């Protein structure tokens, strides 16, 4: 194998909240590198995952959903998504085809209409910046083939896409073709990560993300976007395991009992499930200790943003 045969580069995965970006990144990488929930705005900052395709290394950049921002954190998230796209060798725009079709038929739920609006604004953003993207119509497991053709033609007609892939990130259908195409688009050059590395997030941050995923899965309805998780200690134990201490921050006193649950049952569930995932990802025993604290203004603290690589002044 000659040096010249190597390829490496970045592929940014952008799209509306809940389109399936993180699911796709995990699928392309073949490991869990970024968290997934059924709720919008799960991903808060760009997360890298490394996929190998023959001689090509594709560094996938999972980005927060692009939507109409209201709060500071929203603005920072959306800004980081566009920045991720700017610096990439390829952009994949993931669209929830099921939501798009439901919204176009007029019968969709509010969430479907919102998703369709966000798709419009992403297309406008691509037009404004003169960037071309690969369109990935996702969630095709939920729709009929004949519905897909019209959607594909309509979106392709916008003139911002170089090609269209129809995929199901959840069952992997069509994903290998997309991966092969991304590999071709990577520029020639040395690999950016060791061949066997899949994730790029520091262990402390990854651990906090896994706990946030469980928190979202369990109490999101009662706790909309008011929680953050920080790993406060990460040490080695004698049995070769990791001792991880974390704090869940909520914005109000009234939210503490929601996270704790009756008799501490909710927090116990979150801890057990996070520990299980972490032990698997880190491949060693994990001892996890979580406390819940009120920190009214965490989403207005500069330090919180810099810790995640987000801009504060946006």
Ligand X SMILES: Nc1nc2c(ncn2[C@@H]2O[C@H](COP(=O)(O)OP(=O)(O)OP(=O)(O)O)[C@@H](O)[C@H]2O)c(=O)[nH]1
From Mg ion, ligand X, none, interface partner of 247 (C-beta below 5 to 8 A by class): none
Nearer to Mg ion, 62 or 112 (CB): 62
CB of residue 285 vs ligand X: minimum separation in angstroms?
28
Nearer to ligand X, 14 or 182 (CB): 14
Closest CA to 215 of 86, 65, 42: 42
CB of residue 77 vs ligand X: minimum separation in angstroms?
9
Among 14, 16, 20, 22, indicate the residue that binds Mg ion (CB under 5 A): 22
Q: Between residue 36 and residue 75, which ones bind Mg ion under the rule CB under 5 A?
A: 42-43
CB of residue 24 vs Mg ion: minimum separation in angstroms?
9
8 Å CB contact between 175 and 28: yes
Binding residues (CB under 6 A) for ligand X: these are 15, 17-23, 36-38, 40-43, 64-65, 138-139, 141-142, 168-170
Binding of Mg ion by 23 (CB under 5 A) = no
Binding of Mg ion by 147 (CB under 5 A) = no
CB of residue 253 vs ligand X: minimum separation in angstroms?
27
From ligand X, Mg ion, none, interface partner of 141 (C-beta below 5 to 8 A by class): ligand X
d(CA 120, CA 122): 5
Nearer to Mg ion, 21 or 48 (CB): 21
Piece in contact with Mg ion (CB under 5 A), picked from 20-28, 126-134, 160-168, 232-240 = 20-28
From Mg ion, ligand X, none, interface partner of 142 (C-beta below 5 to 8 A by class): ligand X
From ligand X, Mg ion, none, interface partner of 37 (C-beta below 5 to 8 A by class): ligand X
Q: Put residue 170 in one of left, alpha, beta given phi > 0 → left and psi -120 to 50 → alpha.
A: alpha
Nearer to ligand X, 42 or 57 (CB): 42
Site of interaction with Mg ion (CB under 5 A): 21-22, 42-43
């Amino acid at each position: 194998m000659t040096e010249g045969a190597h390829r490496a580069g970045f592929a940014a995965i952008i799209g509306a909240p809940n389109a399936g970006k993180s699911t796709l990144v995990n699928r392309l990488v073949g490991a869990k590198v970024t968290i997934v929930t059924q709720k919008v705005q799960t991903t808060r900052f760009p997360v890298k995952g490394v996929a190998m395709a023959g001689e090509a290394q594709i560094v996938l950049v999972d980005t927060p959903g692009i939507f109409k921002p209201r709060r500071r954190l929203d603005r920072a998230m959306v800004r980081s998504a566009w920045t991720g796209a700017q610096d990439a060798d390829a952009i994949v725009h993931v669209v929830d085809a099921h939501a798009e079709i439901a919204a176009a038929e007029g019968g969709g739920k509010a969430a479907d209409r919102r998703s369709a609006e966000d798709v419009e604004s992403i297309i406008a953003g691509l037009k404004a910046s003169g960037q071309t993207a690969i369109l990935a119509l996702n969630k095709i497991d939920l729709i009929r083939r004949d519905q897909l053709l019209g959607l594909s033609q309509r979106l392709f007609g916008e003139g911002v896409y170089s090609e269209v892939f129809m995929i199901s990130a959840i069952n992997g259908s069509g994903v290998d073709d997309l991966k092969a195409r991304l590999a071709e688009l990577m520029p020639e050059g040395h690999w950016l990560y060791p061949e066997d590395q899949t994730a790029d997030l520091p262990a402390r941050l990854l651990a906090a993300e896994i706990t946030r995923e469980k928190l979202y899965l369990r109490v999101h309805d009662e706790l909309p976007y008011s929680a953050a998780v920080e790993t406060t200690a990460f040490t080695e134990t004698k049995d070769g395991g990791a001792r991880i201490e974390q704090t869940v921050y909520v914005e109000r006193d009234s939210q503490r009992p929601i996270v704790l649950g009756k008799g501490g049952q909710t927090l116990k569930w979150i801890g057990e499930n996070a520990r299980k995932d972490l032990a698997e990802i880190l491949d060693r025993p994990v001892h996890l200790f979580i406390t819940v604290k009120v920190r009214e203004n965490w989403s207005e603290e500069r330090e919180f943003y810099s810790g995640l690589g987000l801009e504060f002044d946006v």
